[in-house]
Structure 1
Amino acid sequence: MKKSQISCAILAALASVSVTAQQQTGPNAKIETIEVTATKRAESIQDVPVAVTALNGEALENMGIDSFQDYVEFLPNVTFQGTGPGQNEIYIRGAATTQSNIMLSSVQALQPSVAFYVDEMPVSMAGRNLDVYATDVQRVEVLPGPQGTLFGASSQAGTVRLITKKPQHDAFTAGADTNISMTKGGEMSNAVEAYFNMPLTDELAVRVAAYNDRQGGWIDNVLNQPGQGGYIGSAEVISRISGNVLSDPRAMDANRITNPDITSRTEADVVSPRNDGLVEDDFNDAIYAGARIGVSYLINENWDLLVQHTQQTLETEGVFAYDPNLEGESSTNRFQPEENTDEFGLTTWTLEGRLEKLDMVYTGGYLNREIDTLADYTGYTNGGLFSAYYVCNYGEAVAAEDERCLDPTKYYREDTTSTRSTHELRFNTTMDTPWRVTAGLFYDDQEVATIGQFNIASTEKFPAMARELKGSEGINSDGGPFPADVSFVNDITHTIEQIAVFGQLEYDLTDSLTASIGARWYQIDDEYKGSTSTVDVSRRIRAFGTLDPTELESVDLDPDAINAALDSGQLTVDDLEPDGVLSVDDTIFKFSLDWKVNDDILLFANYSEGFRPPVTNRVGGGLASNQTGKFENFRIPVYSTTDTLDNYELGVKGDFLEGILRVNATAYYSEITDLQTSRFDPTNISFLVFTDNVGDAEIRGMDADITWLATDDLVINAAFSVLDTELTRVNDELAGISAGVGSRLPYSAKFSGNINARYFFEMEEGRRGYVNGSVSYTGDRLAGMVMDAYVMEDATSLIYGTGSGLSIEDEASVYEGVTYQDANDGTFRGGRYIQDAYVIANLAVGVTNDVWKAELYIDNVFDEHAVLNIDTQQFTPKVVTNRPRTIGVRLSYDYL
């Protein structure tokens, strides 16, 4: 059985340890070959002419995976970026970009570039991949590179599949696992899992797995101490991002609440927030609890039916990032409670059978996901055109001497419901011919309905600021008024409907040479409806669909100006229907040629295409408030256009030295056209995120993994990834804001690698002992797409009284995207934060007799504090890090 969330299993699988030989030791041992369904046919992993990584359940257990942070090091060609459990996105082979912050992922986020499947059901979600606890797992398959012909839209850069264990009809089996651990400087963690498999009749069998995993925290919410690295608050920052509206912000900063001559908060010109009642050690807990039940029915000798249901709740408190301006690498300042509850129910079904010379599969599923979030939004004070309006007393009727910047404490509350239903019917030929066909139909219907409530205005200045939605009625609510402390609301429903026809033909040119061609035609209809406190989104999008002057004027848009933007190419609405539905269709292809040199060596060459559909913007067509320089006549895109990825690769899969050495390697070159990114509008409200196309990019790289049975009792696995990414074109409006031409794409290291060794030794009474050790290296990575590091550093120094101390890569002499004014020349250098390289080592020792197992392990032996992600969405950097050194014991028992 497996012992972690699905993100952990994925990360382990992506270690490129594509096979395992732990259970085959002793004389004449060979590397086990796993059967996979990467091409939607069951085949040996060494015979599939595509790059694929697969780990079976036993290998996952033997690796002792406990958490995402512990095993992030086993990712030579993949990246997970996010802010904690249930809040991560997968990137493969460097095809990465900046995603929306978690507060807006349900409203305005890019579609994933990597598809995530549970068995046959796609469960990807924009900005928040489903975090399924990986218990009772058969195997994990990872397919890097475009898989769109067989797996669809979100398979632009790869596909990850979690294959669960199914009910067995031959015998009763059961088992249980427990795990208890201690984390340096943190709380204890504990987990328990159990399963049983029971044949009820000759035709009917059931399998049940259940789990509860409490992962103790290690991040401390410390007392805010202005002047000692804590939050001070800066009128200088607030004034300049609001257009220099405060008459003397520097004087206000000099007279802030830290001035010893000020004894009352009502006397202070700048008020720093307090968090006395929220101070807590180890406050970032996570609890996974759930169960899965599967029922298998053998209808007759040719047909069988499988139905499974998984129910899970993930609850987290606190945050999983520290503030680098504070002392240590586990401290943060939070001024509002942080809570997240993520619950889902997933029901899937598969009907398999045989029709003459065809194998038929009908599979479908229904996913219902509920997300409730409460988050600290105090960082909104640090960015946004209207910060001074929300936080400070200023305006035409307020004298300069009466100016004050009030308590900046804010919060965000979200209630999101996501549903998804899919149906796929496919056929595989089984005739004894030199050709084979896989063909099918696919239908997908997704809906994300969200209500996001923001407290962004000081209640001291606006004591009763209950807001109603801009539209006449709410989509998911009654339209308001909302509670008095709520000053902005998103009420949005986003629906994506997709239909596709796909097929793949393989033809044996000779006994050893096979060619194949695959294609997928798709149509995607994207409907974005709802309102915000300031925009009737539904009506706005319909106005762009019709371009009717009366409709444009009804949403405060000038028809002549919109037509001018369309004529100049600054805006495009070609894919928008009159009813406001964004509709796209296209056909993508895949070609491959593979040569079976002999029984042990396979060479292959592939060309494949992948894509991500466009994303509608909630404030599309909005005119920039700053009408100077490059922002003159600039309007927010109505939608980001489809981005495409063309991939070319050469690969080899081989077993050598009579089956004790396996080497799989793939070299690839990818071109991305119109790469999508999420960005904020630097001249309007900075947190008003929208999607855009940054430009084009190229990716060159090589992945390789090696498995070696060094002796009868020693297994060594190694993997590495070499990666070179480059922006080759940047859209004009992003020049000087985005990293420039020739710059690297974010989040991926030029080199990553790992090595794992497992040694077995015989003991008395049929027991076996083992020692497992691993070391991994991840190189430097760049954070995000925007060159905002020096702007962030300046704000951090003013707001906290100290810098972050994080590494920065210089990429431009001047940061031109924002006309911030200071005492100098009003410009900043352009650069991005560096997520520094790190090395992590793990160690485990255990004993087993194949029925029970006991293991003592140490994860992160040298207590490395790795920089996994630098989050700048709060306008000052927060560092997501791995779990500190953790020592624990695992016990398991299987009744066979």
Structure 2
Amino acid sequence: MRKSQLSCAIVAALAATPAAAQESSSNAKIETIEVTATKRTESIQDVPVSVTALDGKALENLGVDNFQEYVEFLPNVVFQGTGPGQNEIYIRGAATTQSNINLSSVQALQPSVAFYLDEQPVSMAGRNLDVYATDIQRVEVLPGPQGTLFGASSQAGTVRMITNKPNHSGFEAGMDADISTTRGGEMSNAVEAYFNMTLTDDLAVRVAAYNDFQGGWIDNIRNVPGEGGYIGSAQVISRISGGVLSDPAGMDANRITNPDIDTMDEAAVVSPNNDHLVEDDHNDATYSGARFGLSYIFNEDWDLLVQHTQQTLNTEGVFSYDPNLAGETSTNRFQPDENRDEFGLTTWTLEGRLDKLDVVYTGGYLDREIDTLTDYTGYTNGGAFSAFYVCNYGSDVAPEDERCLDPTKFMREDTTTTRDTHELRFNTTMGTPWRVTAGLFYDNQEIATVGQFKIPNTELFNDLERTLVGNEGINSDGGPFPSEVGFVNDITHTIEQVAVFGQLEYDITDTVTASIGARWYEIDDEYKGSTSTVDVSRRLKAFGSLNPDELAAVGEDPDAVLAAVESGQLDVSELDSDGVLTVSDTIFKFSLDWKVTDDVLLFANYSEGFRPPVTNRVGGGQAKIQSGKFEGFRIPVYSTTDTLDNYELGLKGDFLDGIVRVNATAYYSEITDLQTSRFDPTNISFLVFTDNVGDAEVKGIDADITWLATDDLVINSAFSWIDTELTRINEELDGISPGVGARLPYSAEFSGNINARYFFEMEEGRRGYVNASVAYTGDRLSGMAMDAYAMEDATQLIYGTGSGLPIQDEAAVYEGASYTDSENRVIRGGRYIQESYVITNVAVGVTNDVWKAELYVDNLFDERAVLNIDTQQFTPKVVTNRPRTIGLRVSYDYY
């Protein structure tokens, strides 16, 4: 019997539909947990939707502190990005290319997956809130569209992090400490603590605090040209600047090879020096914060919960390596990379009963500050006016004086985000065959950002006093550049949403239930501000009103614009005369579930999800190149709403007297007008914009199996098979995006994991355990543009070597399109392959249910996984995982 109780305590650690076990006679069974996936509290096995959840005990046993670690155990979820606080979540293969993280505040798609902290949506474009997982009750992942109950960004799924709330049962406290060392990297350490107090019979408080220093392992090494370091290439600069250099090949022929040369006259192309920034293990991250909660019970029907979470995330360095350099932990950075991401979130929930109704009013206020300093030197490899920025050339320059100067650049960003949400929700409790959930929702977001870019070499501009047409950073009379900042984004983006939603469930029989849900929404998207070259506010008003005088004032030919609108080439129907983008619609969900037995549930669902449109800074403008493929092309004023229609069949069941649990879902999704980010400075525009790439289909199966093999051994496995396919490509992206039949990026066709936990008895009431997990992720494709060969061409010229990364051939592009060499020869189209990898973790520990000590090894075989290949610096950078890490965790809980 004691062994059964032991199993009860630990099944939660492994189950993807997690939990403990419970006794039934002499046998243990898998226990289910309660979730709120339908905004009602229900058993996870009775909810007729696909739900994956881990409770707090499971998160602790798995050593999970952030969502990236949690994703290792979710095969159908992808966490894609460039480091802490700079990631996007994708579920079930519904993925596309996002904007460069440096531009996510001014020009990024809305997320396709909503992220909630308790009842509050906190997802943001490009930079989801990276909440540290301390004192967590559970994490719920709801794959597939959840838009009827959870709104706009729940197009492909919803992730909810549910915190522990103040309880009124008395005093409790606990702490966790962790110290570890990473192979080839720094030591890391973390401390977490919480306490709960009942101040009166009706008033309770709970406080949790944490500080987690995650030591780095990426080395910023000295730039050594000829050994994979940054050389620079006049050929690349000339090509992207329209072939303006008189003899780029000749300038390249004299590329610097001696790192000791520091006189610009001694080299045609200057290689930047980073000696002052050379540092081992430069990519540190520190999470620190606290959460304060207060619960007050007014009476037996009404109670109030108020919580405040305050967190600061500081990172230094980058979490990617340069594949052109030797090894998998080296990079060349020429400016400091620093990021401070601080947020305060205050939330409140009032719950009560009105006769036969449960009433919930919940709201929240989020205030987030991001301060970033980042190396922007890579812009030299892709900026449309790079020759003007860094090169000394032209008819008045002697050939021996033609050279390109130090390309070092930086970008500073100061972004303030506020988000104010309110929801009033009603649930019926009348004991009838039908049940209703209905509510009202209001959301107001404001993102105010100022981005300052050092683009030109100021010495060059001071010497040459050139006028750069279209860049107000240069005085119109040809005067010197006024400061080291050459370009500014000053943008305020406001998104206001109102919605009415509801869901009706009806018990057709005692075992069959049908439900229908709907959500009506209206979203106003107001985009104001300017760049150094574009008055965005005035431009949007001009395209909204189509007033000829206003169009002419922003540099557009009114007749040409009106003709483009008339022909359907430009859509401005959702933009009003004040430049505000307004969309409204109604989405639906239908489901039918059958409780075959007490332990087996079958269900079928149809659901819809959407993402709102995105306004473009230079919308309506003509492409720079008006010939060949780009003849007549105009940048969309906004990308239109993309929608996802989902059909799924599911099974949830406990078998063999409750010792085996199988949950599985098969689904088919259709994506219409899939949004993507585009940046084509050579042919179209030097500013990033968004577009609709076309349509896609996704087919897949998700499954997880939990097996209580013995009273002492629990085994859990989960897998995801996904087949994604583009079914239609917008004509203007033909040859740039992969063609019809191509896979969507970032998601592997097959991923899976298996983990096991074995317990054994020790003396004096102690128990030992061994935990092991293996997670496999298959090959994935990077991005939506077939730019890999173009990137390799640039990498070879700029570094003197290629990246060595594998490429999937997909197509050749047209003559005169983006990917041609300096002689206009076609470069093949293809995308980088993010190769498959296997991560293995093991741990051994001892516990007596009050304290626990555990020795663990994460990434046992030191796998260097390719998590992301970032091509948005115009040469590839590889985001990788932490190398093998050995650590010790201890915890103590007092009840």
Equivalent position of 2:446 in the other structure: 447
- SS of 2:801's partner is coil
Secondary structure at 1:126's aligned position in 2?
Answer: coil
CA contact (8 A) 2:865 2:881 kept: yes
Shift of 1:571: 0.8
Pairwise mapping of residues 54-453 of structure 1 onto structure 2 (< 5 A)? 54-65=53-64, 72-258=71-257, 264-395=263-394, 397-453=396-452
1:505-528 deviation line (CA, Å, top 9, x unaligned):
000000000000000000000000
Tell me how far apart the structure 2 counterparts of residues 261 and 449 of structure 1 sit (CA, whole Å): 44
Q: Percent identity?
A: 80
Displacement after TM superposition at 1:65 (Å): 2.2
Q: Kindly state the Cα deviation for residue 686 of structure 1 after the two structures are TM-superposed.
A: 6.5
Corresponding residue of 1:484: 483
Q: 1:687 to 1:201 in 2, by over 3 A?
A: farther
Deviation of 1:130 after TM superposition, in Å, equals 0.2
> Structure 2: how far apart are the matches of 1:203 and 1:124?
34
Q: Indicate the residue corresponding to 2:854 in structure 1.
A: 855
Q: Distance in 1 between matches of 2:659 and 2:42?
A: 21
Matched, 1:598 2:610: no
Matches within 5 A, 1:23-62: 27-62=26-61
Q: What is the identity, as a one-letter code, of the residue corresponding to 1:358?
A: L
Tell me by how many angstroms 1:681 deviates. 2.5
The secondary structure found in structure 2 opposite 1:381 is helix
Measure, in 2, the Cα distance between the counterparts of 1:200 and 1:718.
44
Larger CA deviation: 158-167 vs 64-73: 64-73
Q: Which structure 2 residues correspond to residues 682-831 of structure 1 after superposition, within 5 A?
A: 682-684=681-683, 688-814=687-813, 818-819=817-818, 822=821, 826-831=825-830
Q: 2:674: which partner in 1?
A: 675
Contact residue 543 and residue 552 of structure 1 kept, 8 A: yes
* TM superposition shift of 1:822: 3.7
- Specify the code of the residue in structure 1 equivalent to 2:358: D
Equivalent position of 2:4 in the other structure: none
Residue 93 of structure 2 aligns with an amino acid whose one-letter code is G
1:398 shift after superposition: 3.6
| Pair 654,466 (structure 1): closer, same or farther in 2 beyond 3 Å | farther
CA deviation after TM superposition for structure 1 residue 154, in Å: 0.3
Question: What secondary structure sits across from 1:874 in the alignment?
Answer: coil
By how many angstroms is 1:73 displaced?
Answer: 3.3
Matched position secondary structure for 1:462: helix
Amino acid at match of 2:679: F
CA distance in 2, matches of 1:754, 1:688: 41
Cα deviation 1:171-212 (Å, max 9, x = unaligned): 100001000000000000000010000000000000000000
Q: Distance in 2 between matches of 1:279 and 1:704?
A: 47
In the aligned structure 2, how far is the partner of 1:598 from the partner of 1:627?
Answer: 66
CA apart distance, 1:823? 6.2
| Farther off after superposition, 439-448 or 379-388 | 379-388
Say if 1:386 and 1:685, in contact at 8 Å, map to a contact too.
Answer: no
**Separation in 2, partners of 1:616, 1:39:** 32
- 1:3 aligned partner: none
Note closer, same or farther for the CA distance 1:131–1:259 as it changes in structure 2 (3 Å cut).
Answer: closer
Structure 1 residues 385 and 33: alpha-carbon distance in aligned structure 2, compared to 1, 3 A threshold:
same
Q: Distance in 1 between matches of 2:159 and 2:427?
A: 22
Contact kept, 8 Å, 1:24 with 1:31, in 2: the verdict is no
TM-aligned CA deviation for residue 262 of structure 1? 7.0
SS in 1 for 2:738: coil
State how far apart, in whole Å, the 1-side matches of 2:259 and 2:36 are: 69
In structure 2, distance between residues paired with 1:493 and 1:171: 47
Q: Which moved more, 1:380-389 or 1:441-450?
A: 380-389
The verdict on how the C-alpha distance between 1:573 and 1:179 changes in structure 2, with shifts beyond 3 A counting, is same
Q: Deviations over 1:264-302 (max 9, x none)?
A: 332211111000000000000000010000000001110
Stretches of 4+ aligned residues off by more than 4 angstroms: 13-16, 22-27, 66-72, 259-263, 464-472, 684-687
How many Å apart are 1:833 and its aligned residue?
0.1
Aligned to 1:634: 633
In structure 2, what is the equivalent of residue 516 of structure 1?
515
SS of equivalent residue, structure 1 residue 597: strand
Matched, 1:655 2:668: no
TM-score, structure 2 normalization: 0.95
Tell me how far 1:21 sits from its aligned partner.
3.1
Q: Conserved in 2, the CA contact under 8 Å of 1:240 and 1:820?
A: no
CA distance in 2, matches of 1:368, 1:397: 53
Change (3 A) 1:27 1:840: farther
Residues 318 and 686 (structure 1), Cα distance of their counterparts in 2 relative to 1, 3 Å cut: farther
Unaligned runs of 5+ in 1: 1-12, 473-480
2:476 aligns to what? none
Secondary structure at the counterpart of residue 507 of structure 1: strand
Distance 1:823 1:546 in 2: 42
CA distance in 1, matches of 2:469, 2:415: 17
Aligned equivalents of 1:150 and 1:544: distance in 2?
Answer: 34
How far has the Cα of 1:459 moved from its partner? 1.5
Q: Displacement, 1:561? A: 0.8
Shift of 1:68: 5.9
Q: CA deviation at 1:305?
A: 0.2
Q: Is the 2:14–2:716 contact (alpha carbons within 8 Å) kept by the matching residues of 1?
A: no
Name the SS for the 1:790 alignment partner: helix
User: Cα–Cα, structure 1 residues 579 and 373, in superposed 2: closer, same or farther, change >3 Å?
Assistant: same
Q: Distance in 2 between matches of 1:862 and 1:251?
A: 48
Match of 1:6 in 2: none
CA displacement at 1:404 relative to structure 2:
1.2
SS in 2 for 1:366: strand
Q: Write the distance in 1 (CA, Å) between the matches of 2:622 and 2:723.
A: 37
Q: Is 2:821–2:827's contact at 8 Å kept on the other side of the alignment?
A: no
Cα deviation for residue 170 of structure 1 reads: 1.1
Per-residue CA deviation, residues 566-594 of structure 1 (Å, 9 max, x unaligned), is 12222110000111110000000000000
- Contact 1:466 1:485 survives alignment (8 Å): no
**How much has 1:815 moved relative to structure 2?**
6.1
Q: How many angstroms apart in 2 are the aligned matches of 1:581 and 1:53?
A: 38
Change (3 A) 1:483 1:413: farther
SS of the aligned residue for 1:573 comes to: coil
Report if the CA contact (8 A) 2:191-2:211 is conserved: yes
Q: What is the distance in 2 between the residues matched to 1:508 and 1:228?
A: 70
Give the distance between the partners of 1:260 and 1:60, measured in 2 at CA: 50
Preserved contact between residue 14 and residue 757 of structure 2 (Cα < 8 Å)? no
- How far did 1:435 drift? 0.1
SS of equivalent residue, structure 2 residue 403: coil
Q: How has the CA–CA distance of structure 1 residues 653 and 252 changed in structure 2, closer, same or farther, with 3 Å as cutoff?
A: same
- Report the 3-state secondary structure (helix = DSSP H, G, I; strand = E; otherwise coil) of the residue aligned with 2:636: coil
Is the 2:790–2:819 contact (alpha carbons within 8 Å) kept by the matching residues of 1? no
Segments of structure 2 that go 5 or more residues without pairing to the other structure are 1-11, 473-479
Could you tell me which amino acid in structure 1 is paired with residue 334 of structure 2?
A: F
- Once residues 852 and 842 of structure 2 are traced to their aligned partners in structure 1, the CA distance between those partners, rounded to angstroms, is 16
Rounded Cα–Cα distance in structure 2 between residues aligned with 1:130 and 1:24 = 40
Report the RMSD for the aligned CA atoms in angstroms.
2.2
Deviation of 1:367 after TM superposition, in Å, equals 0.1
- Normalised TM-score (structure 1): 0.95
Give the 3 Å change call, closer, same or farther, for CA 159–242 of structure 1 in structure 2: same
* Residues 744 and 16 (structure 1), Cα distance of their counterparts in 2 relative to 1, 3 Å cut: farther
CA distance in 2, matches of 1:629, 1:451: 37
C-alpha distance after superposition, 1:463-513 (max 9, x if no partner): 4999999999xxxxxxxx997100000000000000000000000000000
CA contact (8 A) 1:697 1:729 kept: yes
Q: 1:785 to 1:24 in 2, by over 3 A?
A: farther
**Counterpart in 2 of 1:533?**
532
C-alpha separation in 1, matches of 2:816 and 2:139? 43
CA distance in 1, matches of 2:453, 2:678: 19
* d(CA) in 1 for partners of 2:590, 2:13: 24
CA distance in 2, matches of 1:417, 1:470: 29
Aligned 8 A contact 1:466 1:487 in 2:
no
